[in-house]
Amino acid sequence: LRPPTVIGQFHTLFFGSIRMFFLGVLGFAVYGNEALHFSCDPDKREVNLFCYNQFRPITPQVFWALQLVIVLVPGAFFHLYAACKSIKQEDILQKSSYTGFYIFSVFLRIVLEVVAFWLQIQLFGFKVNAIYMCDVGALDKKFNITRCMVPEHFEKTIFLIAMYTFTVITVILCVAEIFEISCRRLGFLKTQ
């Protein structure tokens, strides 16, 4: 069962193909070796690991993978429901209960994307700086703050902005899909 609207089908293509490819291939290229090349002064393994864990409480790749999975859940529930009830694609826009459930699943996707957007801002900000000042006081060192070099900080900033952009595009597509469904239900657009 594919989404009942053109926008929904485009969203599936955009979300499923482009976003996952971008994250899987380019995300690994940009973030795959970050922990290995993260170095602090003094360059000791325990200081580097401690500061890297402070710098990245969760790696961006893991965060974005979780975001993709969580955002897919409402649509998956709808499609599971539709499969169990043997709902045809054309029935989704014809019967109010099916339309309502589908719109709810799209609205839930919007909410989850907005929450993920907010969390991404809290965790990563909008820019990756070349230097990270790490508080190593917990390691019982003579010094409390040490400087750490963040590898490929410019590439990571570009990637962050791209992931924000994907989230915004996904939210816009979801809002447009709800608008398209509403227009079809009100008779402003012909049903496919």
Q: Where are the domains of the chain?
A: 4-182
pLDDT tens, residue by residue, 133-176 = 999 888 776 668 899 999 999 999 999 999 999 999 999 999 99
pLDDT tens, residue by residue, 32-46 = 888 888 999 888 888
The count of C-alpha atoms lying within 13 angstroms of the C-alpha of 18, restricted to the half-sphere facing its C-beta, is 13
Residue of higher predicted confidence among 175 and 94: 175
Q: What is the 3-state secondary structure (H, E, C) of the chain?
A: CCCCCHHHHHHHHHHHHHHHHHHHHHHHHHHCCHHHHCEECCCCHHHHHHHHHHHCCCCHHHHHHHHHHHHHHHHHHHHHHHHHCCCCHHHHCCCHHHHHHHHHHHHHHHHHHHHHHHHHHHHHCCCCCCEEEEECHHHCCCCCEEEEECCCHHHHHHHHHHHHHHHHHHHHHHHHHHHHHHHHHHCCCCCC
Residue 191: its pLDDT value, please?
Answer: 53
Residues 6+ apart with CB under 8 A from 72: 15
Residue 1: pLDDT over 70: no
Residue 28: pLDDT over 60: yes
Rounded-to-integer distance, Cα 176 and Cα 115, Å:
19
> At the topology level of CATH, where does 4-182 sit?
de novo design (two linked rop proteins) (1.20.1440)
Q: If you search the block for the tokens 């994907």, which residue do you land on?
A: 166
Residue 139: its pLDDT value, please?
Answer: 79
Arithmetic mean of pLDDT over the chain: 88
* Chain centre distance of CA 113: 7
Tokens coding 50: 């401690």
Give the pLDDT band of residue 106 (cuts 50, 70, 90).
very high
Least confident segment among 19-33, 108-122, 162-176 = 19-33
Which amino acid does the sequence have at 70? I
- The model's pTM is 0.85
Point out which residues pair with 148 in neighbouring strands. 40, 132
